[in-house]
Structures are given as structure tokens and as C-alpha cells.
Amino acid sequence: MKIVMSSKRNWIIALLIVSNFIMAFRLKSDSNEKNPIDENQKVGIDTTTMLLKDTTVLIEKEIALETTNSIVENKESAIKICKYDAFIQKHAKSIEWDWRLIASIIYKESKFDAKARSGGGMVGLMQLVPSTGYKFGLPHGSEYNPEENIKAGISYIKALDKLWSKVPKEERTKFIIASYNSGEGHVKDAARLAAKYGKDPLKWEGNVEMYLALKNQAQYYKDPIVKCGYFNGPRTVNYVKAILAKFEEYKSL
């Protein structure tokens, strides 16, 4: 029988199984040295049976758990969104994001066209500005390589996650997505404006979102606390909504 250890838990269970069998063997050996009608023999045999039953139950529980996990993993991996799913799934693990959320961003950015290039010079699946891509590990000459572009884009998202680490996790995704679209400077401006006007700078909807949308109005983008000036905020607000809507669509597949 081949045993594959995939975690510390598996090692512990294996040790418990081996220990139980060793104990059972000793008990049985001790009982065989007794007189056949010795009461201790009965105790030894009963204890051996009990230990073997415990081990069987332990193994059955482990198999059931692994089977359940396997079903969940197989169900998720069976979802087909685009031909780059394997790359997205592989690199999404590095930031512990649902890969379908990354796929939603890629769909919005490039419609899964690895050769996409925008008028602003953004390239590839995740529409990275080459200088940003290089900063986050994109090799020169690999701007249109699907896996390298995805990997660099996810590294950028990881950096944004660290940048917004003070934002509660349930809100942070929206700040990250907005920053991916607009650059973090404009989102920081919106957070400062939210705080100034009595809103929560750590919440998106009805707070930072609202002031990002107002950054196309002089009253707000000329405010001394604003560092990055004018911005077409409604575009990014709609971008975040579109990404989250696409994510819900992919989750329903």
C-alpha cells in the first residue's frame, strides 16, 4: 500500500495508525503468553479489537474528508472560463484569491486576448503598462506571453493587497480592483476626501467609492488634500462593479 503524505495532518494520522498496530501486536503477543483460559487474554484480545476498530474509524474518516475535498476541488477545476484557466488557477494561489475573480479582471481588461494592446500602451491579458510589468517580474520580451503576463499582474495585485492592508479584508478587494484600474494614488485621494467629509475611509460603497466618483468635479479634485488631481472617477467605480458582477456570474457556472 502506497501512502502519500500531503500535510502534517497526514503524518500525524500515519503515526497514530502505526502506533495502534504496534500496541495491538504487543497486546496480542502478551495475551498469547498467558494460559488460554486466563482472563487477561480476553482483555488483551478485546483491547486489540478495540484498537483495530479505532484505527479503521480513523482511516474511514480521513478517506471521507479527502473525498469531500477532492469533490470540491474537482468541481472547481471542472469550470471552464477560458483557455488560460490553468495559468490563472496556478498563480491565484499565491495571493489566496478565488481564481475566478482574477479571470473576471482579465475578461474586463482584455476579453482573454493575449495579444491585446490598448491605446495607452497597456499590453497582454492583464493589460499591464510594460514598466509596471517589469517591476513585478515580467521578463522583457514576454509582454504577450500569457502565463508571464498573468503572473506579473497577480504580483501587482499582491503588492496592492499589502498597500491596503489596513482596510478590512471584506472591503479590501474593492480597493485593490479600483487601484488596479486607476492607480492607487487616485483611490488614496478618494479615501482622504471621505475622511474629510465624515465618511469611512476604510469602506468602499457609499464612502470612498462616492468620493472617487466626485474626482471629476473641481470642488474635489482641487482640494488641497488631493495629490493626484482630476480623474474620471465614475469610470473606475463602474469598473469595480463590472468586475464583481462578472465574478458572481463565473461563480454560478
98-145: pLDDT as tens digits: 999 999 999 999 999 999 999 999 999 999 999 999 999 999 999 999
CB 159 within 8 A of CB 136: yes
Distance CA 137, CA 230 (A): 30
Q: How many CB atoms lie within 10 A of CB 121?
A: 11
Distance CA 243, CA 24 (A): 58
pLDDT for res 60:
53
Place of cell 497577480: 154
Q: In Å, how far are 84, 86, 156, 227, 240 from 181, measured between CA atoms?
A: 21, 24, 12, 17, 8
Q: Which residues contact 221 (CB under 8 A, 6 or more apart)?
A: 189, 215, 229, 230, 231
**96 catalytic, yes or no?**
no
| Single-letter residue type at 119 | G
Q: Whole-model pTM?
A: 0.71
Place of cell 493587497: 161
Catalytic residue among 39, 109, 147, 170: 109
Distance CA 232, CA 218 (A): 12
Q: Residue 77's pLDDT band (boundaries 50, 70, 90)?
A: low
CB 121 within 8 A of CB 58: no
Q: Residue 79's pLDDT band (boundaries 50, 70, 90)?
A: confident
Beta bridge partners of 123: 117, 128
Residue of higher predicted confidence among 27 and 121:
121
pLDDT for res 36:
45
